[in-house]
Each structure stands twice: as C-alpha cells, then as structure tokens.
Amino acid sequence: MEGSVYQRKDHRWVGVVDVEKNLNGKRKQKYVYGKTKKEATIKLNNLIYQLQNNIYRDSGNLKFGTYLDNWFEQNNACWQETTAALYKMYIEKHIKPLLGNFLLKEIIPAHITEFKNQKLKENSSNTVLKYLALLHGAFDYARKNNLIILNPVDNVNRPKKIKYKPVIYNESQFFNLLERVEGTFDEIPILLAGACGFRRGEIFGLRWRDINFKDKTVSICQTNVRFDKPLIKKPKNETSNRNINVPDFVIDVLDKYKSSLKVIPEKVCKYEPQSYSDRFKLLLEKFEMPHIRLHDLRHFNAVIMMKYGVPDKVAAQRLGHSNTQTLREVYQHVLKDMDINAAGKINNMLIGMNS
C-alpha cells in the first residue's frame, strides 16, 4: 500500500492513500493534512500502518472541540459539581481556543506539545499538568470508544511538578497584622486562618450555627469554592470534616463581632473566597507588609503548633490532614530549621557547661 504527499494551492500539505476500489473500478481514498510536508508525511505513514494492520479508526470530521463538549456531557454526572465546573473552565478558556478546531483524528503529540509550551508561558507547570491530565482523560475515552487508536498525550513530556514553598510570617509579623485589623471585619478571616488553621474555603463556608460559643468549638461541615460561580460543598475528605476547640481569644472576637450585627446572616463571612483574597492582597499593600496568600496563614498556624510542641497527630487532626505524614511533608523545610535551631541550643548549653 503506497501513498503520496502533495501541496495544495492554499499551501496546505495533503497525504493520500488508495484504500480499495469499488465494483466500477473507482478508487476510494483517505486523506490526511498538515501544515508542513513533514507533518503530512508522518500522518500518512501512521495511516498506512493502521490500514495495513487493520487497526484503523475513523472519527470522520468530528472536531475536537465538539468531541470535548460531548465527552463533558457524557461524564460530568460522575464528577463533583466543583470538579465539573473546573473542567468546563479548562475546556472553554484554555483548551478549545488552541485545539478545538482540529479534527479529533488529526491530533498528534506535536499538537499537544505545542499546546503545553504555549500554556507554560501563561501558567505554572502545576496548572499545565492539570490541563494535560484532563486531555489525557478525554483522549482515553475516545480510544476506548474506538474513535482513535492511540492517546496522543501518552507521548508528550510532562513539565516538572513544582512544590510550593509558602511564605510564612513569624509571630511578630502575625501580631502586627492582627493589630492593624483589630475591631474590623478583616480580623475574623485572619484569625480563623492564622489562629485556627482553617482553609480558605472552610472560612467562607462557615455558618454561625457551626460555632458552639459555650463549648468553644467550631465544626467544619462545608466549604465554599468558586470557579464560574460560588459553590458550597462538603469538605474534601472525611478528616477535613472536623470539630475542633478554638482559642478563647478567637471565640471572644467572634462573639463580639456577632453582637455588633443588626441582622445575623447565615454565614460568618460575607465575602466569596476569591474576592476576599483580592481584598487581603490590598490590605497587605496598604500596611506595607510582605505579600503572602491568605492560605499561608494556615501554614503559620501549623508552624506555631510544631514550635510549641503540639503532637503531630493532634496538629494533623486540627488542620484536617488525613495523616501526620502529610503534615511532615508539607512542613519539612520548617522542621529542618527547627532541628538546626535545636542543635544550636544544645551546643550553647554544652559550651556553658565547659566555661
């Protein structure tokens, strides 16, 4: 079986191969297309190999963007609402603009690599890894349904996942921040993050009925997230759904704030997660303090617990980690600094003994 490659008047390269002849002796042909002669030749060779080995699949003129819409509709009932909203945003905002007009059967690893490289200019490698994971799932579904032979994402080099190293305030910086927001609404989310270790979504999903002022406890029963719209969902896992004791100081601030309200709303905090993160950034600029994320105050809480000897198991339970290993992996660099500090203290003690 032989084929040929030629260039059309519109400068597009075409690969063509005779598949069979009908009863009238008329040829039946299949075509592939490419921006360059090399691309068209590669596609043609792949086509001939598939035809010769009886593994050819043809999804016709189905565009990848249309396929993604179909894939989403057929599978989104299996996902959490937040996951479905995130995938929809990835598809509409990031994937379809670059890959949507290709035919499903035409997409090769080079197209995915080009997409990856473009997105790495705009996003972190961790975010691009999420795009590639979605694409892999979509192509794998097409492969299992005999629309394509191979998953083009399989042969694409993934960018390295970068571990985020949080910027963590020391105690003096945290107290300085608290002093600046004392008596204002901002004191509430900052305390819930820094003194209680709550995640951003947990803070903005907290309801007044989740706070037991008598027992001085707070129950984390739901979390507030947002992609294209605000969504309330259950905590991410069983250990995230928790009831913890909170410092008296926090309870007193919450009680005072609640008493100042003329009408008591259902939720403690009136903002959505992202809108408050934007506000928090502006607050730090106004106070001329080092930039951190609101979530980094949760890291501050973890460090403080380790510094003052709270057992790993207790700290992990309070933070909603599934195990102490997660805690140690996230704060490994902090533990190392504490270990060096401990060695220094012992050294000073030994020097004092011998002086």
Q: Are residues 186 and 284 in the same domain?
A: yes
Within 8 A by CB and 6+ apart from 215, the residues are 245
Q: Are residues 134 and 186 in the same domain?
A: no
Comparing CA positions, the residue from 293, 320, 306 lying closest to residue 168 is 293
Q: Give the CATH number of the domain where residue 94 resides.
A: 1.10.150.130
Report the amino acid identity of residue 321.
Answer: H
Residue 193 domain flag = yes
> Is the Cα dihedral 179, 183, 188, 192 positive or negative?
positive
Q: Are residues 206 and 245 in the same domain?
A: yes
Percent of the residues in the chain that have a pLDDT greater than 90, as a whole number: 55
Residue 226 pLDDT: 65
Residue 165 pLDDT: 77
Residue 253 pLDDT: 95
Which carries the bigger pLDDT value, residue 162 or residue 23?
Answer: 162
Q: Is the pLDDT of residue 354 over 80?
A: no
Residue 91 pLDDT: 96
Residue 239 pLDDT: 62
What is the average per-residue pLDDT within 246-251?
94
Q: Are residues 225 and 275 in the same domain?
A: yes
Phi, then psi, of 340 in degrees rounded to 5: -65, -40
Q: Are residues 298 and 318 in the same domain?
A: yes
Q: Is the pLDDT of residue 135 over 90?
A: yes
The predicted-structure confidence for 297-311, as pLDDT tens digits, reads as follows 999 998 888 888 888
Q: Is the pLDDT of residue 353 over 80?
A: no
Q: Are residues 43 and 96 in the same domain?
A: no
Residue 343 pLDDT: 64
The number of beta carbons lying within 10 Å of the beta carbon of residue 266 is 7
Residue 230 pLDDT: 59
Which carries the bigger pLDDT value, residue 163 or residue 255?
Answer: 255
Q: Is the pLDDT of residue 176 over 70?
A: yes
Give the mean pLDDT of the chain: 86
Count the domains in the chain. 3
Q: Are residues 91 and 179 in the same domain?
A: no
Residue 66 pLDDT: 94
Residue 204 domain flag = yes
Residue 53 pLDDT: 76
Q: Are residues 17 and 86 in the same domain?
A: no
Q: Are residues 245 and 287 in the same domain?
A: yes
The predicted-structure confidence for 201-247, as pLDDT tens digits, reads as follows 999 999 999 999 999 999 998 888 765 555 666 666 566 678 999 99
User: What's the order of all strands across the beta sheet hosting 13-21?
Assistant: 3-7, 13-21, 27-34
Residue 316 domain flag = yes
Phi, then psi, of 30 in degrees rounded to 5: -125, 145
Structure confidence at residue 282 as a pLDDT band (50, 70, 90): very high
Residue 219 domain flag = yes
The predicted-structure confidence for 123-134, as pLDDT tens digits, reads as follows 889 999 999 999
Residue 250 structure tokens = 């926090």
Q: Is the pLDDT of residue 268 over 60?
A: yes
Residue 166 domain flag = no
Domain boundary among 155, 188, 215: 155
User: What distance in Å separates the CA atoms of residue 193 and residue 276, rounded to the nearest whole number?
Assistant: 13
Residue 266 structure tokens = 């259902």
Comparing CA positions, the residue from 173, 189, 338, 196 lying closest to residue 267 is 189
Residue 329 pLDDT: 67
Residue 161 domain flag = no
Which carries the bigger pLDDT value, residue 59 or residue 239?
Answer: 59
User: What distance in Å separates the CA atoms of residue 351 and residue 322, rounded to the nearest whole number?
Assistant: 42
Q: Give the CATH number of the domain where residue 328 resides.
A: 1.10.443.10
Q: Are residues 100 and 194 in the same domain?
A: no
Report the run of H or E that residue 66 belongs to, with start and end: helix 64-75
Instruction: DSSP letter for 134, please.
Output: H
Q: Are residues 120 and 215 in the same domain?
A: no
Q: Are residues 314 and 253 in the same domain?
A: yes
Residue 130 pLDDT: 95
Domain boundary among 129, 155, 181: 155
Residue 92's domain comprises: 64-155
Residue 349 domain flag = no
Residue 158 pLDDT: 94
Which stretch of 98-102, 290-294, 300-304, 334-338 has the lowest confidence by average pLDDT?
Answer: 334-338
Domain boundary among 131, 155, 179: 155
Q: Is the pLDDT of residue 341 over 70?
A: no
Residue 250 domain flag = yes
